[in-house]
Amino acid sequence: MTIRNLDDLLAEGVSGRRVLVRADLNVPLDKQTGDITDDGRIRAVLPTLSALVQAGAKVVVCSHLGRPKGAPDPQFSLRPVAGRLGELLGAPVHFAEDTVGDSAQSTVAGLADGQVALLENLRFNKGETSKDEAERGAFADQLAALGDAYVDDAFGAVHRKHASVHDVPARLPHVAGRLVLREVEVLSKLTGAPERPYVVVLGGSKVSDKLAVIEALLPTVDRLLIGGGMCFTFLKAQGHEVGTSLLEEEMVETCRNLLERSAGKIMLPVDVVAADAFAPDAAHDTVPADGIPSHRLGLDIGPETVAGFAAALSQAKTIFWNGPMGVFEMAAFANGTRGVAEAITKTDAFSVVGGGDSAAAVRALGLDESSFGHISTGGGASLEYLEGKTLPGIAALEN
């Protein structure tokens, strides 16, 4: 795979040229105030944007935020992101009130060399996510008209066949930004010849969401540690009752087959924190994984499980972690995720946090991000890469 990168574009000269940058600025917003609660994705694209600004480019940034239904929706506006991006860049960011309309065209036309504009949410346009090739292509034509070159630095979106990710690169000279290049380099280490022992930690809600990556990883990993809501379907497959815990009944037989085929690689919780209700103040206790009361649901892995997972991780030379171990957003059920994360930081392994909720947990729990080898910005994209799938955004950048 050959992909031109940002340095190649900079070497050609970008001063005075309009450079369209697809970023992933899909940040969480407080529902009450509209304030950004985690600016990690904005900070992740700064190296690419700063390099273009310093080289004198007219930088046109585009992104999605949330899941609007193809029309403007104030709750998904990127305006708050423009303000925060300007603070981080140390210079105002010009904001276009639309994506490819009059405001976008006039905003881009008014840029001086070294200035930055942010277009309104790409998903306010039906063409961005359309499955109709012609409709998506028409929107890509309009978007590409705002740039002289294209940089994809939105790893969190490269698994989507969307206009700004898949179709625009065919219309402009295109390169990978610093973030996308780093993500591909890191994940390639995991799919190539990772240093062993190679230990993977998977959490999250559903087995069905992670089935493909489990199938892909089982032949290559040394240990696969499973926590989060998905562990209860595995526990059920072992014949244990799981009370009112999250359960995918239709996946029980699949989990049983995975356990049989894993040759002992899969490690499940031996204790869980079981609560009366899904609530931050619910009564709860730690119980054996094979002794969950019928009226309770598991919301976290227990301390014995944390210790066992930590022991397995301490032997690792390569670690990939995707998915929280419990409902970390509630303090009473955050200890499992915190314990596993801290165990990872204490190893000398090359560790990769697979984006999504795992990356959010690292920041929400106040953990030192620099203690991990790499924190991905793309949960779904990183999983699909490890599954061996072709990612439309990466394929579009190949020469």
Give the C-alpha separation, 298 to 233, whole Å: 12
Number of neighbours of residue 295 by Cβ within 10 angstroms: 10
Q: Please, what is the Cα angle at 203 between 199 and 207, to 5 degrees?
A: 110
The answer to whether residues 211 and 251 touch, using CB atoms and an 8 Å cutoff, is yes
For residues 334, 339, 342, 346, the Cα torsion angle rounded to the nearest 10 degrees is 180
Q: Is the peptide bond before 197 cis (omega within 30 degrees of 0)?
A: yes
Return the H-helix or E-strand segment holding 370.
Answer: none
Catalytic residue among 298, 336, 380, 393: 380
Q: Give the active site residue among 206, 256, 363, 389.
A: 206
Q: Cα separation of 286 and 396, whole Å?
A: 49
**Which burial class, exposed, middle or buried, applies to 390 when counting CB atoms under 10 A from its CB (0-12, 13-18, 19+)?**
exposed
Q: How far apart are CA 399 and CA 247, in angstroms?
A: 45
Q: Are 23 and 50 within 8 A, CB to CB?
A: no
Decide if 114 is catalytic. no
CA gap 174, 150 in Å, rounded: 5
| Catalytic site includes residue 388 | no
| 201 contacts 222 by C-beta, under 8 angstroms | no
Catalytic residue among 17, 18, 22, 41: 41
User: Which whole-number Å values give the CA distances from 298 to 242, 273, 289, 292, 312, in the listed order?
Assistant: 8, 6, 9, 8, 23
Of 127, 204, 354, 356, catalytic: 356
DSSP-derived 3-state class of residue 393 = helix
Distance CA 372, CA 354 (A): 11
Active site residue 56: no
Q: 10 Å Cβ neighbour count for 131?
A: 7
- Tell me whether residue 112 is exposed, middle or buried, using C-beta atoms within 10 angstroms of its C-beta: 0 to 12, 13 to 18, 19 or more: exposed
* 193's tokens: 């010849």
The catalytic site residues sit at 41, 206, 356, 380
